[in-house]
Amino acid sequence: MQPRYRFLAVFVFAVLTAAAPVLAGPPERTHDVEPDDYFGLATITSCAVSPQGDHVAYTEMRWVEALDGRNTDLWVVDCATKARRRLTFDKAADGGPAWSPDGKYIYFTSARKRAGEKNPPHNGKKQVWRVSRDGGEPLAVTRVEGGIGFYELGKDGISLYYTVTDEHFDDDFKKLRKKNKHLEYGHGVTDFSQVWKLDLESWRAEKIIDEKRAIKSMTVRADQKRIAMITAPDNEMITNEGWSRVDVYDATTEKISIVTGDGWRNEHPSPYGWAGNLAWSQDGGRLAWTVDFDGHPREIYVAVLSGDEPNLWMLTRPGEVTVSCNLQWPKGESGLAFIAEQRARQRIYHILNVEPGKQTPEEMVTPTPGDVVVHTYDVSDDGSTVAFVKSDTRHGRDLFLWRPTDSKGEWTQLTDTNPQIETWKLPQISLVQWKAPDGAEVEGILELPPDYKPDDGPLPMIVELHGGPTAATMYRLRLWIYGRTVMAAKGYALLSPNYRGSTGYGDKFLVGLVGHENDIEVGDILSGVDAMIERGIADPDRLGVMGWSNGGFLTNCVIAKTNRFKAASSGAGVLDMVIQWGSEDTPGHVVNYMEGLPWDACDAYRKASPIFGLAGVTTPTIVHVGGNDERCPQAHSRGLYRALHRYLNVPTELVIYPGEGHGLRKYKNRKAKMEWDLAWFDRHLLGKTDEEKDEGSQLIADN
């Protein structure tokens, strides 16, 4: 066997022969899941393997009611003993762990704040910090006024690279803009990025890049002679769609070259793609990145930068695999690893041979087969150790480890982050399939109450619709604010369709939604409801529908097309596509699906907009939206509420969460949403009144 395949071969063997950790018998499952259980969950968000492969640093996010939000802290685990140590304890949103070459220190970002402190590093602005692997007081590495953006520690361990922003005023009306800096402008005032290099021996910092571009991400080559960056004309989301590009800074010449020159987008399915996920190969000869599209599959590009002009090509992948994130080049390999989705699972995949003209789809395999959802992973520099975070239908996120040199080839579970789950009465989670009206196969995740038996008869069923729509509901245990787990615990069936346009079901299935919003995917959803009724799972007289973002849009579409649903929860939904194009922060999303601008595709915008079908709506609907939502502005939600409440006399509630954006971040707001949704569906599907709910709660408390 060739040496370059050794990492992959052992990886495949390790996972295929993996055995579950030997643990003591699980406790009895006696706990009925409640909404409050959501706020007791911890979530591992990132991991980093030490250079020696003996420790893994990771970040763990937990809800803190006193903070009215979540906080992320830095932890480290010993791979041999599994002993964990929490390294940080402040409300500071710690993240981005990186190891010093000797494995003694962990660098990370943190926004630490001391009462009354106005100067860095304790003024609440993000800085780079360092802490001993053994614990102790963190040391502020950077002390930048205004804080830093991105950072990367050089492989030499003495060079730290970071970005800062510098406010720039265009020449046109420059004096007037400066005089009225308290105002917001559509353009003319831009925060451009600079890259600085800090010498950790002399503690001197020098500015090395200042090119009047906004840097979206960066990565430093191992020899530190080149820095790759994804840049855009400004910091607006709209300019990331189609205007982002890949630049490379040469430390020897101190010049920047554009890797993605004119014409590189010509082969794209849409001009509104954005670049991301930069990764240098171990030898520094190749640079990989992704290009994302709304409505089209994410693609991987690779560039060889050895000549005068970069040699770019797009990698080939099997059609059913949708690339997700986390590009990495294992040492000694000619291949590229990444996370991708396939039929509601999310695994690590590996393209074996990344050379121009040599790679074929058959050379891509998954080293993590089975019903798993891998969220993130990291490979040590020498390729000897891999850490990854995964979940499945019975467990939440935990950290796992394997080593290619382990003759047994077993996974090692390093954390048990949420042991309380072992006492939960878990929903029965399964994959279900049905035929769409046009004959296409559609799949979804079905959750049933823990003790449900087929003989129990049909259940009240809620259809939960994922956002995106270039996304999917994963086949895993998930308790969250949009219905999963908690609805089954309350006696409902919950169906989460991966409708047309979802990722992981092939390119044709994903792209099939383009030009057909408020049409083909609605057929997918309603045929899934029919299938659950025919199979005796769903009670046709007690159906509900809910969703957020694109799920909210689809909730609006569904209730505008049929009155079969007796209750709906529309979260951050779109009502009119013209308003959405004109006001959201990523208008390329709308242009892609409508296949044109509003004045060029008038009929498409009208057909996709549920506002024109509201006349016949009778479904009682609760409407949620963040007060500062830039992605799906509250004008849509207010319009839906006005139509139903003021003009159509439909039972409706409008709930606006002040200060919140597209996602609810505050503890009290997430809890309020869960409580409102449960009360709404209980009222309109089960016929429960508030008084009955209160009496039931008191009865439980008394016993």
Query: What are the tens digits of pLDDT across the range 286-305?
Result: 999 999 999 999 999 999 98
Q: How far apart are CA 353 and CA 361, in angstroms?
A: 10
Q: Which helix (H) or strand (E) holds 676?
A: helix 667-685
- Which residues are paired to 463 by β-bridges? 495, 545
Q: Is 356's pLDDT higher than 80?
A: no
Asked if pLDDT for residue 149 goes beyond 70, the answer is yes
Please determine, for residue 14, whether its predicted confidence score (pLDDT) is greater than 60: no
| Average pLDDT rounded to a whole number, residues 299-327 | 88
Which pLDDT does position 351 carry in this prediction? 86
CA proximity to 579, closest of 521, 639, 625: 639
What's the pLDDT at 8? 43
pLDDT reported for residue 367:
61
Q: State the sign of the Cα–Cα–Cα–Cα dihedral 628, 218, 206, 124.
A: positive
- Confidence class for position 697, pLDDT limits 50, 70, 90: very low
In this prediction, residues 116-136 reach a mean pLDDT of: 97
Q: Is pLDDT at 142 greater than 80 in this prediction?
A: yes
User: Which has the higher per-residue pLDDT, 385 or 21?
Assistant: 385
Report d(CA 380, CA 52) in Å as an integer. Answer: 8
For 179, half-sphere exposure in the C-beta direction (CA atoms, 13 angstrom radius) is 4
Q: Which of 265-274, 381-390, 586-595 has the lowest mean pLDDT?
A: 381-390
**What span, in angstroms and rounded, lies between the C-alpha atoms of 689 and 307?**
73
| Percent of the chain's residues with pLDDT above 90 | 84
Do 337 and 350 form a contact (C-beta atoms < 8 A)?
yes
SS3 363: helix
* pLDDT beyond 90 at 51: yes
CA dist., res. 344 & res. 349, Å (int): 15
Least confident residue range of 132-146, 379-393, 438-452: 379-393
Would the pLDDT of 19 be above 70?
Answer: no
pLDDT at site 383:
82
Q: 87 CB contacts (<8 Å, ≥6 apart)?
A: 73, 74, 75, 76, 106, 131, 135, 138
> Residues 443, 432: contact at Cβ < 8 Å?
yes
User: pLDDT tens-digit profile of 520-535?
Assistant: 999 999 999 999 999 9
Quick: pLDDT tens for 83-95: 999 999 999 999 9
pLDDT at 9: 39
pLDDT score, position 699: 29
Helices and strands (H, E) in the chain, number of each type: 13, 36
Cα distance between residue 163 and residue 559, in whole Å: 47
- pLDDT above 70 for 176: yes
Which of 37, 2, 164 is CA-nearest to residue 490?
37
Judge whether residue 7 has pLDDT over 90. Answer: no
| pLDDT given at position 703 | 32
Q: Quick check: 89 and 75 in contact, CB under 8 A?
A: no
Residues 6+ apart with CB under 8 A from 267: 314
Q: Give pLDDT, residue 31.
A: 97
What is the chain's mean pLDDT, rounded?
92
Closest CA to 74 of 160, 13, 133, 2: 133
- The beta-strand segments (E) located in 330-480 are 336-342, 345-351, 364-365, 373-379, 386-391, 398-402, 412-413, 428-435, 441-448, 459-465
Mean pLDDT of 165-179: 93
Q: Which two tokens stand for residue 210?
A: 């200042």
In order of 107, 150, 295, 346, 548, the CA distances from 103 in angstroms are 11, 22, 43, 30, 43
DSSP per position, 522-579:
HHHHHHHHHHHHHTT-EEEEEEEEEEETHHHHHHHHHHHH-S--SEEEEES--S-HHH
Instruction: Please give the pLDDT value at position 689.
Output: 82
Q: Residues 218, 221, 222, 224: is their CA dihedral positive or negative?
A: negative
Report phi then psi at 354, rounded to 5: -105, 80
How far apart are alpha carbons 399 and 409 in whole angstroms?
A: 17
* Global confidence as pTM: 0.94
As a whole number of angstroms, the distance between CA 212 and CA 127 comes to 23
Mean pLDDT for 562-583 is: 98
pLDDT value of position 228: 98
Chain centroid to CA 244: 20
Task: Judge contact between 316 and 360, C-beta under 8 A.
Answer: yes
DSSP 575-643: S-HHHHHHHSS-THHHHHHHTS-TTT-HHHHHHH-GGGGGGG----EEEEEETT-SSS-HHHHHHHHII
Please give the Cα distance from 90 to 323 (Å, whole number): 35
Cβ–Cβ under 8 Å, residues 468 and 513: no
pLDDT band for 18, please (50, 70, 90 cuts): very low
Where is 232: in which H helix or E strand?
Answer: strand 226-232
- Lowest mean per-residue pLDDT among 177-186, 677-686, 687-696: 687-696
Q: Of 61-75, 366-380, 397-411, 515-529, where does mean pLDDT reach its minimum?
A: 397-411
pLDDT exceeds 70 at position 44: yes
Q: What type of residue is 257?
A: S
DSSP 8-state code for residue 646: I
Amino acid at 212: K
State residue 406's pLDDT score.
66
Reading the block at residue 130, the tokens are: 């360092």
CA nearest 568: which of 654, 684, 467, 458? Answer: 684
DSSP annotation of 197 reads E
> For the chain, which domains are there?
42-148 (2.120.10.30), 424-702 (3.40.50.1820)
